Structure 1
Amino acid sequence: MEKVLITDVGVAPAENVIKSWNRSMENEKIIGVSRNPYNLYSSRANLKRYIPYEYGYGEDYKKSLLRLLEKERPSLAVFMNDREIYEVSKFRDEITATGTKLFMPRHEVIEACTDKYQSYQIWQAEGLKVPKTVIINDESALKKSFEDLGDLEGKVWLRSTVGAGGRGALPTNNYELARNWINLYNGWGNFTASELLKADKTVTWLSVWYEGELVVAQTRRRKSWGFANRTLSGVTGITGVGETYSSETVNKVAMDTILAIDKKPHGAYGVDMTYDRNDFPNPTEINMRFFTTCYFFTEAGLNMPEIYKNIILYQKFPSLEKKINPLTDGLLWIRDMDREPILTTDENILKVIQEQKITN
């Protein structure tokens, strides 16, 4: 039986990949890794392994991971944290020397995607439509960003150059608030200011590529952010309600976004896009892993984690009528804390409303 190792288990992104793998015909043994004992305990992985490390992904982490790979000999290792993907990529040759395969982009691609300002610069140079963005190195740069980038209300969009889940995101026209916000994150030189896009209109294009060839891609647009009222920006990185969706414009922007950074894509690429005031999708980042709601697609009939795994372990590629957006448009995935997500459609929801409507 093949073994597959996956990190950051016990939390939604990795667990939804594991749930997708558990629906696979091949039935591999899944080794779950975490540094959080509570997350590890709650994981669905077959084998659970704890790697104790406190401060980043230094030498202790590297030694522990390589020892684990040597002992367990998994055929494939999958990393589910953006920072971790970047760090393990630095010693990828030592990982593959243990006999464990990786399915990820080249290191320079990962480096560019991990730094949002670096990826922005690449897209701008390639002529993609992106919101004008500047790096905030000091207070004078922050003041100038309000003058150059502010919308009709003088607002700009601040965010950290590294991190997921809307880390450091703040729409504001208040200089003092912005300055204190960056100070709070110790973020001078690690924050950008951008022209404001429509934070309530976003779309993600999740894809799997093999040696420069697209294997499959599926679009999901976000109908709402989960727990949006808990943040100043309204952006949490948590999808409340997602919907399958297709658009030739989105397809082209996503393809151009990936190929601008990587001429020979290899692995999983999730392109996040936000619409501007002209209703055109602008790329904001690429994640090189499966997003939290990948199980939405699995439940709807497109098991992308299985496709990803089968390519590397068995050289087995899917037979699909459509490579891009094979799922039906309009499928909804409704999520909330402490309950299973629900797969449905707007039609079903409207039917319930009509049936249960109280009339006077």
Structure 2
Amino acid sequence: MAIGLYDRESYAESYVVPAADSEDYWPAIGRIVDRHEISFAVVMPEVEVLVWARAKEERRLPCQAFVPAYQATSTLVDKKALHRVLHRKHYLPKHCTFSNGDDISELPLPYPFWVRSTIGSSGLGSLKVSSRGELDEWVRINPAVEEFIASEFLPGRNLACKLLYVDGRLLRSACAERVEYIMAKVAPSGITGNTSFGRLINDRHLVDIADDAIREVFGLHGVEPHGVFTADLKEAANGEPMITEINVRFVAFVSALARAGANLPLDYLEANLNPDEFSSSYQHYVFQDDMIFLRDVDDAPVVMKESELLTREAFDD
């Protein structure tokens, strides 16, 4: 039912393939690669990034792919493992983990706090809980979540920093603020993981934090950062950005950044397919002041000045 399966303007062909953990996955991918003589794969869902990263280490990829080292990737996509690696960093919020079914009467965090699944994205199992009763009920109605991570509630802005590395060198970065989410009303937390309204921001401090966190994880495994990442951060009450998770992929509003001049997908391709012509000088994309983006499910993103928003709404009325 995915709309992209029928988008003939964007894709020459599209296929439904077995799940990444299925024994039929690689044969299906191999047939597609052979049929279309594909030389380079763009792999974005994290479950697939993991299997492609492992296959790369085992030298059995069917074509070239821009994926990071497997062990570092495994740490990044597991929030519990990521927090364990970064636990001494000043930019990591107070947190604890517990399994579904554990005694949660003595968690070492004051209410309210944020609770979510240790694995996955799109706000899985996420909610701000303000009492023991709320936590009990939330755990009970989420039996599919095997393990939760509870983090101190951070009341500030919800931020994202996108970074592109090649063989240990940070080559591109761009930042944005998430403000509102598509279909927010269907999620108890109000967060669906798909931003509908956001701001384009110029904050190198976010890049410094994200870069330090990524290098810490990769350094632990004795490898260099390589690939594309999106660090999610939330501001504490004092305005200090804190790392909440790191995605091993672009996230949905990358098209809005591209429309504003930060074409990270093009950088991604050129760094791999045209490395001799691609500039390896670091570039942090800087946006005009007051820029926002608006997105919905079935239309192209809009990038405009926030100060013009009410003027345009009045004109439309």
Q: Which residue of structure 2 aligns with residue 205 of structure 1?
A: 161
Answer whether contact 1:128 1:257 (CA < 8 A) is retained.
no
Equivalent of 2:135 in 163, 167, 178: 178
Q: Which residue of structure 1 aligns with residue 177 of structure 2?
A: 221
Mapped pair 1:133 → 2:95:
yes
Q: Deviations over 1:85-112 (max 9, x none)?
A: 12332223567553x1111110011100
Distance 1:119 1:104 in 2: 18
Q: Which residue of structure 1 aligns with residue 306 of structure 2?
A: 346
Distance 1:159 1:244 in 2: 27
Residues 80-89 or 162-171, more deviating: 80-89
Q: Which amino acid aligns with 1:348?
A: E
Q: Per-residue deviation at 1:185?
A: 2.9
Residues 155-164 or 42-51, more deviating: 42-51
Q: Per-residue deviation at 1:128?
A: 3.5
Q: Per-residue deviation at 1:62?
A: 2.3
Q: Which residue of structure 2 aligns with residue 108 of structure 1?
A: 71
Q: Which residue of structure 1 aligns with residue 296 of structure 2?
A: 336
Q: Which amino acid aligns with 2:135?
A: A
Paired residues, number: 313
Answer whether contact 1:243 1:329 (CA < 8 A) is retained.
no
Q: Per-residue deviation at 1:294?
A: 0.9
Distance 1:262 1:317 in 2: 27
Q: Per-residue deviation at 1:189?
A: 4.5
Distance 1:323 1:141 in 2: 49
Answer whether contact 2:182 2:297 (CA < 8 A) is retained.
no
Q: How does 1:1-360 map to 2 (within 5 A)?
A: 39-42=4-7, 44-53=9-18, 57-92=21-56, 97-98=61-62, 100-125=63-88, 127-137=89-99, 139-145=101-107, 148-150=108-110, 154-187=111-144, 189-198=146-155, 201-263=157-219, 264-316=224-276, 318-319=278-279, 323-352=283-312
Superposed CA RMSD:
2.7
Residues 298/256 of structure 1: CA separation in 2 closer, same or farther (3 Å cut): same
Residues 179-188 or 71-80, more deviating: 179-188
Gaps of 5+ in 1: 1-35
Distance 1:90 1:320 in 2: 27
The share of aligned pairs that are identical, in percent, is 23
Answer whether contact 1:51 1:65 (CA < 8 A) is retained.
no
Q: Deviations over 1:217-238 (max 9, x none)?
A: 0111123233333321122212
Secondary structure of the residue that 1:109 maps to in structure 2? helix
Secondary structure of the residue that 2:136 maps to in structure 1? helix
Distance 2:57 2:71 in 1: 15
Q: Per-residue deviation at 1:293?
A: 1.0
Q: Deviations over 1:264-294 (max 9, x none)?
A: 2111011110111221111111111111111
Residues 276/335 of structure 1: CA separation in 2 closer, same or farther (3 Å cut): same
Q: Which amino acid aligns with 1:160?
A: S
Q: Which amino acid aligns with 1:41?
A: Y
TM-score where L is the length of structure 2: 0.88
Residues 319/350 of structure 1: CA separation in 2 closer, same or farther (3 Å cut): farther
Q: Which amino acid aligns with 1:259?
A: R
Q: Deviations over 1:34-66 (max 9, x none)?
A: xx576412354443242443x662111122112
Residues 44-53 or 165-174, more deviating: 44-53
Gaps of 5+ in 2: none
Greater helix percent: which structure? 1
